[in-house]
Amino acid sequence: MKARVPLVAALLLAAAGARGAAWDVAALMDALRDHRPARAQFSETRHLALLDRPLESSGELTFTPPDRLEKRTTSPGMERLVVDRDTLSVERAGARRTFALRDYQQAAALVGGIRATLAGDRAALERDYALALEGNAQAWHLTLRPRAAALSAIVKRMEVSGNGPEVRRIETRQADGDWSVLLITPVPR
């Protein structure tokens, strides 16, 4: 009988440890928050109803937590988008324009979901989106669906996929039928 007690205790501890290491939204947000990539390469394909073919671009992304995101497009042309707190700056063809994000709901909704995901900011994500996570720590898929009718009139859903603590793919489906896929390749430090 004494030999069974350590065995039962070991099984209970193993089961408790497995529950503690469960893969859920909290674990994903912890992993994203703790992993701070400085730079990544991107390739993006945008499908717009107004165009016969998708638009393709590539370049570099830089994220400085919690709220600075820079997207520097190098192909097919040069463009630099910087979202810093509540401001969006666009540089193209030597001209720079700055906008308040609050004046551009669509951009604010998309950028907010991306920045909050990259920062592992669950509270910010859950303010605007319902979250559904599938997969495991090595290959996960997070779906963000807008909570408010005003936001769902702009964004149908965002699907973010990754490996471990790295975001590798962001697919955005807009309410108007346009959609885009952003593929992300981290740059080694």
Distances in whole angstroms, Cα of residue 30 to Cα of each of 27, 122, 129, 137: 5, 9, 18, 11
Q: Which residue segments constitute the domains of the chain, with CATH numbers given?
A: 26-186 (2.50.20.10)
Token pair for 94: 């030597």
Asked whether the beta carbons of 59 and 39 are under 8 A apart, the reply is: no
Distance in Å from the first CA to the final CA of the chain: 55
In angstroms, the CA 84 to CA 114 distance is 13
Considering only CA atoms, which of 37, 8, 55 is closest in space to residue 119?
Answer: 37
Cβ density class 86-115: b for 16+ within 10 Å, e for less: eebeeeeeeeeeeeebeeeeeebbbbbbbb
Token pair for 54: 């998708």
- pTM equals 0.84
In angstroms, the CA 165 to CA 186 distance is 11
pLDDT in tens, the chain (189 residues): 444 444 333 333 333 344 446 899 999 999 999 886 578 999 999 999 999 999 999 999 999 988 899 999 999 999 999 999 999 999 998 899 999 998 987 778 788 899 999 999 999 999 999 999 999 999 999 999 999 898 899 899 999 999 999 999 999 999 999 999 999 998 876
